[in-house]
Amino acid sequence: MQAIAINGSPRKKWNTATLLQKALDGAASAGARTELVHLYDHQYTGCISCFACKKIGGKSYGHCAVRDGLAPILKRVATADVLILGSPLYFYTESGQMRSFLERLLFPYLTYTPGFRSIFPGKLATGLIYTMNVPEPHLADYGQDRSTAATQGVMTRIFGNCAMLLSTDTLQFKDYSKYVSTCWDPAAKAKRRKEVFPQDCRKAFEMGAGLAARAKAGE
């Protein structure tokens, strides 16, 4: 059983990456082999609208035809059992690298048929992990509850399932005095990092373990 986590943050050792690793640890506890992919290590584009993935009788029908740094990653995802995507929210949505990844991952499996049927050929237990500065009570004020739910909805349409974890009001800098960031209370941020972020790490671990158990059961 293979579990792959995709890090859509440019930071490899901060909030998003930490939660993804915890999720992989959870998957490993349920017997999965694990891999963490950092998207910012790879050169690729978003969908180029070539429609080769939808051409009747075409050799690339149902999968992305573009050959770049993302192609081998998409190939591994297609045969994995667990897929967990993680991204910070930038201007109310995923990072640019993650958005490009999502286009390339999802569009080939979405058909232009009544109901927009999915043709993903396997079974994949999936999850989304988001990190953000916005406190949880203000998610709706910024529309971030809707943007994350939209991606979860598309993932569910394609793969039949998608768990989601929102890690809110995260610590962005180790030293807030070095940056123009007076809208934040550094002491409150540090306190939340110490008290709440470990709870999010536990939830990520439980997500990974749960997804791996689901995959193992063939659900």
What is the reported pLDDT for 148? Answer: 93
Of 215, 204, 168, residue with least CA distance to 24: 204
Share of the chain above pLDDT 70, in %: 100
Residue 164 has pLDDT above 90, yes or no: yes
CB 136 within 8 A of CB 166: yes
The pLDDT tens digits for 188-210 are 889 999 999 999 999 999 999 99
Query: Average of pLDDT values for 5-29?
Result: 96
Average pLDDT over residues 116-135: 93
Residue 150 has pLDDT above 90, yes or no: yes
Record the tokens describing residue 119, joined without a space: 């043709």
Is residue 129 within 8 A of residue 20, CB to CB? The reply is yes
Phi, psi of 110 (to 5 degrees): -90, 120
pLDDT tens digit string along 54-108?
Answer: 999 999 999 999 999 999 999 999 999 999 999 999 988 999 999 999 999 999 9
Residue 177, pLDDT > 90, answer no
Beta strands 33-38 and 2-7: pairing type?
parallel
Predicted pLDDT of residue 136: 87
Cα separation, 159 vs 154, in Å, equals 9
Terminal C-alpha separation, the chain: 13
Task: Work out the average pLDDT over 160-189.
Answer: 91
Question: Per-residue pLDDT for 19 more than 80?
Answer: yes
What was the pLDDT predicted at 120? 93
Confidence of residue 134 (pLDDT cuts 50, 70, 90): confident
pLDDT at 219: 63
Structural domains of the chain, ranges and CATH numbers in brackets? 2-216 (3.40.50.360)
Chain-centroid distance, C-alpha 95? 10
The answer, yes or no, to whether residue 186 has pLDDT greater than 70, is yes
Supply the pLDDT for residue 122.
85
DSSP conformational letter for 32: -
List the structure tokens of 100. Answer: 């490009």
Higher pLDDT, residue 145 or 104: 104
The predicted model gives 164-174 an average pLDDT of 93
Res. 141: pLDDT tops 70? yes
| Mean per-residue pLDDT over the chain, rounded | 93
Q: State the pLDDT at residue 78.
A: 93
